[in-house]
Structure 1
Amino acid sequence: MNLSNQNYTPGSSQPFIHNNEDEIDLKVLLFNYLQFWPLIFAFMLVGLIGAFLFNRYSNPIYSVQSSVLIKDEQSGLSMDLFESAGFGLQGKNNIENEIGILKSYSLAEEALNELNFNVEYFSEGLIRDVQQYDKLPILVEVDWDQPQIVGGLFEVEVLDNNSFEIKIVKQEFSVFNPDDPFYKSKLDKEIELKKSVYSFGEIISGENYSFKIEQISALQGEKIQFKLIDTPSLALKYKDALTVSPINKQASILNLGLETPVRKLGEDYINKLMEMYLQRDLDEKNRASESTVIFIEEQLSGITQSLESSETQLQKYRTENNIFNLSEEGAVIFERLQELGKEKSQSELNLKYYQTLSDYLVNNQSGELVAPSIIGVTDPLLNSLVESLSQLQAERIRLRTNYSDELPAVRDNATRIENTKKALKENVNSAIQNTRNVIADLNNRISSIERDVNSLPETERNLIGIQRQFSINENIYVYLLQKKAEAQITMAANMPKNSILDFAKSGQIPVAPKSKLNYLIGLILGLILPIGFITIKDFLNTKIEDPKELEHQIKVPLIGMIGRSNTDDNLPVLNSPRSTVTESFRSLRADMSYLSANKEKLTILFTSSISGEGKTFVSMNMASVFALMGKKTILLGLDLRKPKISEDFNMPNDIGMSTALSSNTPWRNTVKKTSHADLDVILSGPIPPNPAELLLQDKFTQIIEEIKEEYDVVVFDCPPVGLVSETKELFALADINFYVFRQGYSMKGNTAILNNLVEKGGVSKMYGILNDLHIDKGYGYGYGYGYGYGYGGNSYGYHEEVQLPWWKRALKRKS
Structure 2
Amino acid sequence: MYPNTPNPSNSGQNPFMVQKEDEIDLKILLFNYLQYWPLILASMVLGLFLAFGFNRYSTSIYKVESSVLVEDEEPALGMDLFESAGFSGLQSKSNIENEIGILKSFSLAEEAVSELNLNVQYYEEGFITTNQIYQKLPIVLTVDWNQSQLVGGGFRLEVIDENSFELSIEDDEFKIYNPDDPFYKILPEEEITLEKSVYSFGEQIKGDFFSFKVDLISAVPEDVFQFSLADTPTLALKYKEELAVAPINKQASILSLSLETPVRKLGEDYINKLMEMYLQRELEEKNLASENTVKFINQQLSGISDSLTFSENKLQQYRTENKVFNLSEEGSVIFERLQELEKEKAQTEINLKYYQTLSEYLENNQAGEIVAPSIVGVTDPLLNSLVERMSELQAERIRLTSNFTEQSPAVRENANTMQNTAKALKENVTSAIANTNNLIADLNNQIRMIERDVNSLPETERNLLGYQRQFTINENIYIYLLQKKAEAEITKASNMPKNAILDFAKSGQEPVAPKRSLNLLIGLILGLILPIGFITIKDFLNTKIEDPKELENQIKVPLIGMVGRNNSEDALPVLNNPRSTVTESFRSLRADMTYLSQQKENLTILFTSSISGEGKTFVSINMASVYALMGKKTILIGLDLRKPKIAEDFDLANDKGMSTCLSSNTPWQSVVKTSGHPDFDVILSGPIPPNPAELLLQEKFTTIVDEIKEAYDVIVFDCPPVGLVSETKELFALADISFYVFRQGYSMKGNTQILNNLVEKGGVSKIYGILNDVHIDKGYGYGYGYGYGYGYGGNSYGYHEEEVQLPWWKRALRRKN
TM-score (norm 2): 0.89
Counterpart of 1:402 in 2: which secondary structure? Answer: coil
Counterpart contact for 2:367–2:391, Cα < 8 Å: no
Counterpart contact for 1:581–1:790, Cα < 8 Å: no
What residue in structure 1 maps to residue 38 of structure 2? 38
What residue in structure 1 maps to residue 650 of structure 2? 649
What residue in structure 1 maps to residue 546 of structure 2? 545
What residue in structure 1 maps to residue 282 of structure 2? 281
Counterpart contact for 2:405–2:411, Cα < 8 Å: yes
Counterpart contact for 1:775–1:794, Cα < 8 Å: no
Counterpart contact for 1:562–1:790, Cα < 8 Å: no
Distance (Å, rounded) in 1 between the aligned partners of 2:792 and 2:348? 114
Distance (Å, rounded) in 1 between the aligned partners of 2:219 and 2:258? 33
What residue in structure 1 maps to residue 72 of structure 2? 72
Distance (Å, rounded) in 1 between the aligned partners of 2:298 and 2:796? 108
1:340-739 equivalences in 2 (<5 Å): 340-365=341-366, 367-451=368-452, 453-739=454-740
What residue in structure 2 maps to residue 116 of structure 1? 117
Counterpart contact for 2:157–2:225, Cα < 8 Å: yes
Distance (Å, rounded) in 1 between the aligned partners of 2:268 and 2:710? 103
Cα deviations by residue, 1:585-623 (Å, 9 ceiling, x for unpaired): 333334444444454444333222111112222232333
What residue in structure 2 maps to residue 299 of structure 1? 300
What residue in structure 1 maps to residue 145 of structure 2? 144
Q: Which moved more, 1:461-470 or 1:249-258?
A: 461-470
Q: Residue 763 and residue 313 in structure 1: after superposition, are their counterparts in 2 closer, same or farther (change >3 A)?
A: farther
Q: Which moved more, 1:107-116 or 1:780-789?
A: 780-789
Per-residue deviation, 1:326:
4.8
Q: Residue 428 and residue 740 in structure 1: after superposition, are their counterparts in 2 closer, same or farther (change >3 A)?
A: farther
Counterpart contact for 2:785–2:791, Cα < 8 Å: no
Per-residue deviation, 1:282:
1.4
Distance (Å, rounded) in 2 between the aligned partners of 1:630 and 1:761? 35
Per-residue deviation, 1:36:
3.3
Distance (Å, rounded) in 2 between the aligned partners of 1:439 and 1:46? 95
What residue in structure 1 maps to residue 12 of structure 2? none
What residue in structure 2 maps to residue 226 of structure 1? 227
Give 2:47's aligned amino acid: G
Per-residue deviation, 1:140:
2.0
Give 1:73's aligned amino acid: E
Counterpart contact for 2:584–2:793, Cα < 8 Å: no
Counterpart contact for 1:62–1:262, Cα < 8 Å: yes
TM-score (norm 1): 0.89
Distance (Å, rounded) in 2 between the aligned partners of 1:796 and 1:91? 93
What residue in structure 1 maps to residue 211 of structure 2? 210
Distance (Å, rounded) in 2 between the aligned partners of 1:790 and 1:623? 23
Structure 1 segments, 4+ long, off by >6 Å, are: 16-20
Counterpart contact for 2:2–2:560, Cα < 8 Å: no
Distance (Å, rounded) in 1 between the aligned partners of 2:355 and 2:709? 129
What residue in structure 2 maps to residue 751 of structure 1? 752
1:155-166 equivalences in 2 (<5 Å): 155-166=156-167
Distance (Å, rounded) in 1 between the aligned partners of 2:777 and 2:197? 68
Cα deviations by residue, 1:508-543 (Å, 9 ceiling, x for unpaired): 444444443443343334334433333332222221
Q: Residue 216 and residue 799 in structure 1: after superposition, are their counterparts in 2 closer, same or farther (change >3 A)?
A: same
Per-residue deviation, 1:255:
3.2
Distance (Å, rounded) in 1 between the aligned partners of 2:547 and 2:102? 64
Distance (Å, rounded) in 1 between the aligned partners of 2:617 and 2:178? 85
Give 1:724's aligned amino acid: V
Give 2:477's aligned amino acid: I
Cα deviations by residue, 1:463-492 (Å, 9 ceiling, x for unpaired): 554444444433333332222222211211
Counterpart contact for 2:79–2:382, Cα < 8 Å: no
Cα deviations by residue, 1:360-415 (Å, 9 ceiling, x for unpaired): 23333352432233233333333333333333333333332223333333333333
**Which of 803, 806, 813 pairs up with 1:804?**
806
Distance (Å, rounded) in 2 between the aligned partners of 1:5 and 1:304? 126
Per-residue deviation, 1:449:
4.6
Structure 1 position 180 matched with structure 2 position 154: no
Counterpart contact for 2:390–2:418, Cα < 8 Å: yes
Q: Residue 603 and residue 110 in structure 1: after superposition, are their counterparts in 2 closer, same or farther (change >3 A)?
A: same
Counterpart contact for 1:310–1:469, Cα < 8 Å: yes
Which ranges of structure 1 fall in alignment gaps of 5 or more residues? Answer: 8-15
What residue in structure 2 maps to residue 310 of structure 1? 311
Counterpart contact for 1:563–1:791, Cα < 8 Å: no
Distance (Å, rounded) in 2 between the aligned partners of 1:428 and 1:796? 112
Distance (Å, rounded) in 1 between the aligned partners of 2:788 and 2:78? 91
Per-residue deviation, 1:444:
4.1
Distance (Å, rounded) in 2 between the aligned partners of 1:524 and 1:450? 104
Per-residue deviation, 1:773:
1.7
Which ranges of structure 2 fall in alignment gaps of 5 or more residues? Answer: 8-17
Distance (Å, rounded) in 2 between the aligned partners of 1:305 and 1:681? 144
Counterpart of 2:116 in 1: which secondary structure? Answer: coil
Per-residue deviation, 1:81:
4.0
Distance (Å, rounded) in 2 between the aligned partners of 1:464 and 1:6? 144
Counterpart contact for 1:580–1:789, Cα < 8 Å: no
Per-residue deviation, 1:630:
4.4
Counterpart of 1:74 in 2: which secondary structure? Answer: coil
Q: Residue 765 and residue 79 in structure 1: after superposition, are their counterparts in 2 closer, same or farther (change >3 A)?
A: farther
Distance (Å, rounded) in 2 between the aligned partners of 1:197 and 1:534? 57
1:7-22 equivalences in 2 (<5 Å): 22=24
What residue in structure 1 maps to residue 14 of structure 2? none
Per-residue deviation, 1:73:
2.9
Counterpart contact for 2:64–2:260, Cα < 8 Å: yes
Distance (Å, rounded) in 2 between the aligned partners of 1:122 and 1:232? 21
Distance (Å, rounded) in 1 between the aligned partners of 2:554 and 2:450? 122
Q: Which moved more, 1:517-526 or 1:712-721?
A: 517-526
Give 1:32's aligned amino acid: N
Q: Which moved more, 1:744-753 or 1:296-305?
A: 296-305
Distance (Å, rounded) in 2 between the aligned partners of 1:783 and 1:236? 69
Distance (Å, rounded) in 2 between the aligned partners of 1:63 and 1:118? 22
Distance (Å, rounded) in 1 between the aligned partners of 2:19 and 2:752? 23
Q: Residue 441 and residue 524 in structure 1: after superposition, are their counterparts in 2 closer, same or farther (change >3 A)?
A: same
Per-residue deviation, 1:197:
4.5
Give 2:39's aligned amino acid: L
Counterpart of 2:561 in 1: which secondary structure? Answer: strand
Aligned residues, how many?
Answer: 805
Distance (Å, rounded) in 1 between the aligned partners of 2:50 and 2:43? 10
